Structure 1
Amino acid sequence: MAARGKSVAFARIRAEVIRLVALIPEGKFTTYGSIAIHMNVMARHVATVLSRLTPEESAALPWHRVVSAEARLSPNMDAALSRKQRRRLNAEGLRISKDGYIQSADTHFHNMGVRRNIRWSDVADADAE
């Protein structure tokens, strides 16, 4: 049963990451860590969800508005995808340095909000009952 609980928890985490990313306004950005803190999960969970979007989700969701710590485009991202992210952010008025850092980051940062007291496994366990 434990594996099922984790699966349900991850499905809920995935849905919430997608919901939050959809709320990031045009011309703004946030970080994997900011979303993670708000959700009370690890930044790696957020990155995993975004790296596994379906083509339809990727087309509809402003995934390009989520970047690494210090307002930097992820250095681990595929080069072609990174160029696409840079183009989309530039089109929204954000300027990015040669090294991949968003300029005037404080002006463009979208704060996700305070940490919520969610225990995703508890939520999943309650659903399983």
Structure 2
Amino acid sequence: MPKPKSLAGTRIRAEVIRLVALIPVGKFTTYGSIAVHMNVAALHVASVMSRLTKEESATLPWHRVVSSDARVSQNMEASLSAVQRERLESEGMELDAQGYILDSDAHFHVVGLRRNIRWSDPSSLDA
């Protein structure tokens, strides 16, 4: 996996990984929720998630991050979608045939309020 080319990219990647690691068992969040909290675009979060190393994928609960409509990502390979679905169901979430999490409000993990961060400015990370 190529390393981010900027200090900001490195910091964004580290924060996405940190936030995903904090999602409790039986809960999920969305790419957009993480992005709002971090003050970045959801595409930044999705990009980080799609480039996890094998080691990160093995230890990080990546399966707890879904699309904005509480659905297993449609952009993922079918085999990964199946893994995500299995893991979510093993944690007590029910999904319908299209991959939507049922009773999503009961399982949604709130990442937090929007942070006012400029990722290229180290002093703003304390915000």
- Tell me the distance in 2 between the aligned counterparts of 1:75 and 1:18: 21
2:107: which partner in 1?
Answer: 108
| Fraction of identical pairs, as percent | 69
Matched, 1:67 2:63: no
What whole-Å deviation, never above 9, does each CA across 1:37-65 have from its counterpart, x for those lacking one? 00000000001001000000000000000
- Tell me the distance in 2 between the aligned counterparts of 1:83 and 1:104: 20
Structure whose CA Rg is larger? 1
Structure 1 residue ranges without an equivalent (≥5): 1-5, 125-129
Structure 2 residue ranges without an equivalent (≥5): none
Offset of residue 119 of structure 1: 1.0
More helix by share: 1
1:13 alignment partner AA: I
Matched, 1:22 2:21: yes
- Tell me the distance in 1 between the aligned counterparts of 2:121 and 2:69: 32
Contact kept? 1:9, 1:123, Cα under 8 Å: no
1:127: which partner in 2?
Answer: none
Taking the TM superposition and a 5 Å limit, the aligned residue runs for 1:1-129 are 7-123=6-122
Q: Secondary structure at the match of 2:120?
A: helix
What whole-Å deviation, never above 9, does each CA across 1:8-66 have from its counterpart, x for those lacking one? 10000000000000000000000000000000000000010010000000000000000
Whose RCO is larger (CA < 8 A, sep 6+)? 1
- TM-score (ref. length: structure 2): 0.91
Offset of residue 70 of structure 1: 1.2
- Tell me the distance in 1 between the aligned counterparts of 2:111 and 2:86: 23
RMSD: 1.5
Aligned length: 120
Offset of residue 123 of structure 1: 3.1
- Tell me the distance in 2 between the aligned counterparts of 1:76 and 1:8: 28
1:15 alignment partner AA: A
1:26 alignment partner AA: V
